[in-house]
Amino acid sequence: MKGDYQDLVDEISTLLGAPATLENRDFRLIAFGAHDSDDDLAMDPVRTRSILTRGSTAAVRSWFEGFGIARATGPVRIPAAPEAGVFRGRICLPVRYRGIVQGYVWLLDREPGPAPDALAAAMEVADRIGVLLAEEAKAGADLSREFRAVLTAGRGWQQDMAVSALRAALGPAAADELHAVVCVAPWTGEPPATVPGAAAVCVVPGRGPDADAAAPDAPVAPGAPAPGRALALLVRLRAADALGPAEAVASRLLGPGSGSAAARTAAGAAAGAARTAAAVSGAARPAGGAAARTAGAGAAVAVAPGGPAAGIAEPGRGLAGLADAWAQASAAARAAAAQPRLGPVARWSSIGPYRMLSALASAAPADDPAARPLLGPAQRELARTAEVFLDCAGQAGRAAAALGIHRQTLYYRLARVEQLTGLDLDEGEDRLLLHMALKAARLHA
C-alpha cells in the first residue's frame, strides 16, 4: 500500500513539475517526492518538520485548515506567511472519497503556477489516492472479528491461532510493525465504520450489569473495563517514543478538547504559536476562528462522571503481545476515568500506582474490612481527607492546603479515620493498606 501512495505522489509531482507530499487528514506524512532544488526556500521550517518528524504541529494544522481545505473540492492556493514558518505559498489538493476528506497533497506554489489542465489531471490522481485511503480505513474496521479474537482468547493454542489469523489479515508487514493498543471505555453501540489511523477496530464485551446482552458468554480480556463494553483500536506508530497518532485517534473519538496530560501541555504551547501565526496581516490571514479553536484545545478537560475515557498501552512490535497491551490500555482507561487529573486520555506509563492496582483488582470492588467503614456515602468527606493526606506523603500542611481546611480540622478528621478503621496512620503498613484500598475503590466507582 505504501508503494502505491509513493507512485501516485510521484505521478502528481511529474504532472505539476514540483515535489509533492501526501498527508492524511490528521496531517501525518504518508509519502513525499524528491527535492532536487537548490533554492533554500523550497524547504521552509513547516515543510522540513513535516518530512523529518512525519507530521505537523497543531498550530500548523489550524493555520492551513483556516483556509477551508477540509471543505474544498478543488485546489486551494495558500499564500506565504513567513511569520508562521511558511516561506513559500502552497497549493493544496484535497484528497476526498465520496465527499469525505481523506487527506491532502501539498505542493510549493510558484508563479505563474500550474496550468488548469495539469491541475485537473493532478486532482484525478488525488481522487485515486482517496480511494486507497478510504479502503485502508475500511479494512481496519473489517478486521474486528480477528482483532477481538486476539484480545479475548485464552492463553495457549487459542491465542496462537487468533494471532495467526490477524497477522494473515493485516499482511506480512504486521509482524514487524510498531503499534499501540488504545482502549475507549465505556463504549455503546457498534464500532465506527472507519477510524483514520487505526489498522483494526473492535468492540470488546465487558463485565457487570451493563455488559453486552447480545453476547453474555463472550470471553473477556484480563483488565477489561467494567461495567459495559470498550472500543479497542490498533494504531500503527513510526517510533516507540511517538504516541501522537494513538493520542490523536483517542482524542478524536472522545471529542474536542480531550487528550493526555502531556498532549494538553503541548497543545497549550501550540496555541501560543497559533495565536502568533494568526497575527499575520494581509492576504495570509486564514478564515476566522481557527486559531481560537486551537487555543481552546489546550484547556484541561475533566472526565465527566460516567463518561468515556481512553487509555494507551506501551508501544510494541508484532502481534503476539496484543492481549497484554490490551490489559495495559484498559487499565489506563479505568485510571483516566477514576482520576480526572490523568484523563480523559491516559498512557499506561503515566498512571503510577494504578498500574499495580488494576492488575490486583478483581471484578468486585476491593473490600478490605479495615477500609470498609470509609467507603460508604456517609463518610465520603473523611475518605477524601484520608486520600489527600496520603497523596501528600503524610505532610499535614500540604494536605490541609490542598483540602482548603485548617490544620486542626485535618487532625480531627484523621483521628476519626483512625477510629472508624482501627488503623494507625503513623504506621507505614497501615498507611499503605488504606491508600491502596482508597485508590482501588476509585477503579470501581
DSSP 13-28: HHHHTS-EEEEETT-B
Q: Tell me which fold the domain 2-136 belongs to.
A: Beta-Lactamase (3.30.450)
Domains 2-136 and 372-443 share a fold: no
Q: Please spell the DSSP secondary structure of 205-219, one letter per residue.
A: ---STTS-TT-TT--
Amino acid at 423: L
Which pLDDT belongs to residue 34? 61
Residues contacting residue 14 through CB under 8 Å, at least 6 positions apart? none
Which pLDDT belongs to residue 86? 73
Which pLDDT belongs to residue 141? 59
Which pLDDT belongs to residue 445? 61
Q: Please spell the DSSP secondary structure of 224-274, one letter per residue.
A: --SSSEEEEEEEE-SSTT--HHHHHHHHHHH-TT---HHHHHHHHHHHHHH
Which pLDDT belongs to residue 277? 34
Other beta carbons within 10 Å of 372: 14
Q: What single-letter DSSP state applies at residue 214?
A: T
pLDDT by residue for the chain (445 residues), tens digit each? 455 888 999 999 999 988 899 998 878 888 877 655 554 445 555 555 555 445 566 777 888 889 999 899 999 998 887 776 677 888 999 999 888 888 999 998 888 888 999 999 999 999 999 998 887 776 655 788 889 999 988 778 888 888 888 888 887 777 778 899 999 988 887 777 668 778 889 999 864 333 333 333 344 444 444 446 899 999 988 776 678 888 988 988 887 555 554 444 444 433 333 332 333 333 333 333 322 322 232 222 333 445 789 999 999 988 889 999 999 999 899 889 888 888 799 999 888 888 877 777 644 555 677 888 888 888 889 989 998 999 899 999 999 999 999 999 999 999 999 999 898 999 888 888 888 888 777 776 6
Q: Please spell the DSSP secondary structure of 346-383, one letter per residue.
A: EEGGG-TTHHHHHHH--SSPP--TTTGGGSSGGGHHHH
> Closest by alpha carbon to 429, among 382, 390, 376?
390
Cell of 244: 501522537
CATH architecture of 372-443: Orthogonal Bundle (1.10)
> Closest by alpha carbon to 345, among 248, 439, 266, 267?
248
> Closest by alpha carbon to 411, among 393, 430, 397?
397
Which pLDDT belongs to residue 284? 36
The domain locations on the chain are 2-136, 143-259+301-360, 372-443
Give me the residue label for grid cell 524528491: 34
Q: What whole-number distance in Å separates Cα of residue 125 and Cα of residue 75?
A: 13
pTM as predicted: 0.54
Q: What's CA 221's distance to the chain center, in Å?
A: 21
Q: Count H helices, E strands: the chain? A: 15, 11
Q: Please spell the DSSP secondary structure of 131-166, one letter per residue.
A: HHHHHHHHHHHHTHHHHHHHHH--STHHHHHHHHHH
Residues contacting residue 28 through CB under 8 Å, at least 6 positions apart? 54, 55, 197, 245
Dihedral pair phi/psi, residue 424, rounded to 5°? -105, 110
Angle between helices 322-338 and 428-443 (to 10 degrees): 100
Which pLDDT belongs to residue 411? 92
